A = this chain, B = another copy of it.
Amino acid sequence: MVTDHSFYMNLAVEEAWKYQGLTYPNPAVGCTLRGEHGEILAVEAHHKAGEPHAEVNALKSAYYKLTQNKEILQLFTSEQIHTFLLKNHNNIFKNCSLYSTLEPCSHVGKTPSCANLIAQLGIKNLYIGVEDSNETAANGNALLVQSGLHVRLHVSKEKCEDLLFPFQKFLKERFVFFKWAQRLNGTTDGGIISSEASRKNVHAMRNVCDLLVIGGNTVRCDRPTLDARLVNGKAPDILILSRQKEFDRSIPLFQVPNRKVIIESDFSLLKNYKNIMIEGSAKMYELSRDIVDYYLCYLAPAFGGEEGFKNIEDKFEILNAGKEAEDIILWMKRRI
């Protein structure tokens, strides 16, 4: 039977996109574990910095699927899962193939090395989307080849590169994404647009952003809080882009403890930050066009509202289209 490796890798890619924007300062990574007959044992992703890497989440799921041993479901830290698997794997992974959108890490950071774990579990084949350019984590690949694994690079390479781009960008300087919510008929005004699940997702992103950019008019009209209360998260620093520096300080965003609010008329402040979300609509879109890397649109399947993106002629490439409860979530880049 001929194996379509891109099929398995694309499952990992799709799973990883669900956590794009949530893994900072780590990359979004997905992992599929394939059994010797081609069966899918697990499709998992890295969810959040400090939590297990995608490979560890996939090995945990696959272990449970193969053994029905519920003990592993009680383990949540990477250390616990590594230790448990090394002790109890009983060679169940020995004919398995592992697909990872990114080269498994070789360094011991917040979690032990994934490359080591993969080698010690006796996994047979490793398929990798892209190499890790982060020098401290790289070379998992070389370590694995030495240990006798069959390693193949660049499976679904372009898709894995699109997924990894934000990470490479914030490693190098900073990643800037523009997020908006709209209805199907393109409107961005008129009250709450997205589902509760989508709004929680945005709050989880704010929790890991170090700077949130917003327009002065939006602050004056909407009087927002712009925190991460729906996920009990940390409120990011705020840049209010405004020539007029006077604001009513009773607007909720000024009341949030442990956050800086800076009011400036340009984007020069961005140089001090790494993971930056811009929230806005038409006017902010035009002002920020030259500094935005990716666009993130929450699309609610509804008609209503009045105002949207007018007098702009841009085209986008959809990098990923996902579904969050009732809404569509689009990650895109602008075609140039």
Residues of B within 8 A of A318 (CB): 301, 323, 326, 328
* Nearest CB in chain B: distance from A74 CB, A: 18
Q: How far apart are the CA atoms of A36 and B1 in the complex, in Å?
A: 14
Residues of B within 8 A of A310 (CB): 185, 306
**How many copies of this protein are present in the complex?**
2
Interface 9-mer from A22-30, A37-45, A198-206, A229-237: A37-45
Contact B185 A65 (CB under 8 A): no
Minimum CB distance partner of A66 in chain B: B1
Q: How far apart are the CA atoms of A115 and B253 in the complex, in Å?
A: 64
Minimum CB distance partner of A306 in chain B: B310
* Nearest CB in chain B: distance from A305 CB, A: 9
Residues of B within 8 A of A326 (CB): 317-318
Check if A316 is an interface residue, CB within 8 A of chain B: yes
Residues of B within 8 A of A297 (CB): 184
Q: How far apart are the CA atoms of A184 and B37 in the complex, in Å?
A: 42
Residues of B within 8 A of A299 (CB): 184
Contact A68 B2 (CB under 8 A): yes
User: Given B39, B185, B309, B328, which contacts A309 in the complex, CB threshold below 8 Å?
Assistant: B185
Q: How far apart are the CA atoms of A184 and B282 in the complex, in Å?
A: 13
Count chain A residues whose beta carbon lies closer than 8 angstroms to a beta carbon of B.
Answer: 40
Contact A308 B185 (CB under 8 A): yes
Q: How far apart are the CA atoms of A313 and B187 in the complex, in Å?
A: 12
Check if A290 is an interface residue, CB within 8 A of chain B: no
Check if A186 is an interface residue, CB within 8 A of chain B: yes
Residues of B within 8 A of A313 (CB): 302-304
Check if A222 is an interface residue, CB within 8 A of chain B: no
User: Given B37, B65, B312, B321, which contacts A2 in the complex, CB threshold below 8 Å?
Assistant: B65
Contact A323 B321 (CB under 8 A): yes
User: Given B2, B66, B309, B316, which contacts A301 in the complex, CB threshold below 8 Å?
Assistant: B316
Minimum CB distance partner of A332 in chain B: B301
Q: How far apart are the CA atoms of A313 and B185 in the complex, in Å?
A: 10
Interface centre among A1, A303, A308 (most CB of B within 10 A): A303
* Nearest CB in chain B: distance from A107 CB, A: 33
* Nearest CB in chain B: distance from A238 CB, A: 27
Which of A285-336 touch B at CB < 8 Å? 297, 299, 301-304, 306, 308-310, 312-318, 321, 323, 326, 328, 330, 332
Return the CB mask of A209-229 against B: 1 if under 8 Å, else 0: 000000000000000000000
Q: How far apart are the CA atoms of A299 and B323 in the complex, in Å?
A: 15
Minimum CB distance partner of A36 in chain B: B37
> Which 4 pairs from chain A and chain B are nearest by CB?
A186-B186, A38-B39, A37-B37, A301-B316
Using CB atoms and an 8 Å cutoff, list the residues of chain A in contact with chain B: 1-2, 35-40, 65-66, 68, 182-187, 297, 299, 301-304, 306, 308-310, 312-318, 321, 323, 326, 328, 330, 332
Q: What are 9 inter-chain pairs, A to B, with CB distance below 8 A?
A: A182-B184, A182-B186, A184-B186, A301-B318, A303-B312, A303-B313, A318-B328, A321-B323, A328-B328
